[in-house]
């Protein structure tokens, strides 16, 4: 049977907030990687790592990240089915901490007014295809005691090389048409409306 002391320790390890406080925002901006989790009502749960300088805090209850072209587009497909979204940040250096942002997500596709409005807040990153916006409903912090220590060496240049190998925007569009219109469970991602049916 768990002791009272152990129960209090576990209870105190996780705290919840209804918005990002200054300390939360500082921690988020310091991280070099974050993780995005989404799921439709059926099918697979998706969990993706994100890097580069792709995340922005828009206000105390809103974050956005510039989503780059990849071999799949699970998050966009899931958000059309069920807009719940979780972002997780872990301390791999300094004091241990895990921070999760829970809330409602939406996709801003290239060419839309919201995408155009948000894009200037991000650096020019290779292969940008959409912006994911999270309206934060709950912030949760937990201990991260078992997360190992890692040292950041630098960002990879592989994404830029891969984008260059596609021969420009036309090549990227064709790749997205082939790989990014449906999730692995067959859900439409919102890209290329003619492929919705």
Domain that holds residue 117: 15-146+155-190
Q: What are phi and psi of 186, to 5 degrees?
A: 90, 5
Task: Report the number of distinct structural domains present in the chain.
Answer: 1
In a domain, residue 10? The reply is: no
In a domain, residue 70? The reply is: yes
Q: In tens digits, what is the pLDDT along the chain, a chain of 197 residues? A: 333 343 344 445 689 999 999 999 999 999 999 999 999 999 999 999 999 999 999 999 999 999 999 999 999 999 999 999 999 999 999 999 999 999 999 999 999 999 999 999 999 999 999 999 999 999 999 999 999 999 999 999 999 999 999 998 999 999 999 999 999 999 999 999 988 86
In a domain, residue 56? The reply is: yes
> DSSP character for 93?
S
Task: Look at residues 100, 102, 65, 64 and name the one whose alpha carbon lies nearest to residue 83.
Answer: 102
The pTM of the full predicted model, rounded to 2 decimals, is 0.92
In a domain, residue 42? The reply is: yes
SS3 (DSSP) at 86? strand
CATH code, domain with 70: 2.30.110.10
In a domain, residue 1? The reply is: no
In a domain, residue 3? The reply is: no
In a domain, residue 196? The reply is: no
**Which residues, 6 or more positions from 36, have their beta carbon under 8 angstroms from its beta carbon?**
46, 47, 48, 50, 65, 75, 85, 86, 87, 132
In a domain, residue 195? The reply is: no
Sign of CA dihedral 85, 115, 186, 126: negative
Structure tokens at 169: 């925007």
């Amino acid at each position: 049977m768990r002791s009272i002391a152990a129960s209090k320790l576990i209870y105190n390890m996780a705290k919840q907030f209804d918005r990002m406080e200054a300390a939360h925002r500082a921690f988020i901006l310091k991280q070099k990687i974050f993780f995005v989790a989404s799921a439709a009502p059926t099918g697979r749960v998706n969990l993706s790592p994100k890097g580069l300088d792709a995340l922005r805090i828009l206000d105390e209850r809103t974050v956005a990240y510039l989503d780059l072209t990849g071999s799949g587009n699970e998050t966009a497909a899931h958000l059309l089915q069920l807009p719940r979204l979780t972002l997780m940040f872990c301390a791999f250096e300094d004091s241990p901490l895990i921070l999760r942002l829970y809330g409602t997500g939406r996709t801003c596709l290239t060419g839309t007014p919201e995408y155009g409005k948000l894009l200037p807040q991000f650096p020019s990153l290779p292969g940008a295809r959409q912006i994911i916006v999270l309206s934060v409903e709950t912030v949760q912090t937990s201990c991260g005691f078992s997360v190992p220590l890692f040292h950041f060496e630098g960002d990879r240049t592989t994404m830029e090389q891969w984008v260059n190998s596609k021969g420009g925007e036309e090549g990227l569009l064709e790749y997205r048409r082939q790989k990014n219109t449906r999730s692995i469970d067959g859900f439409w991602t919102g890209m290329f409306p003619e492929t919705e049916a």
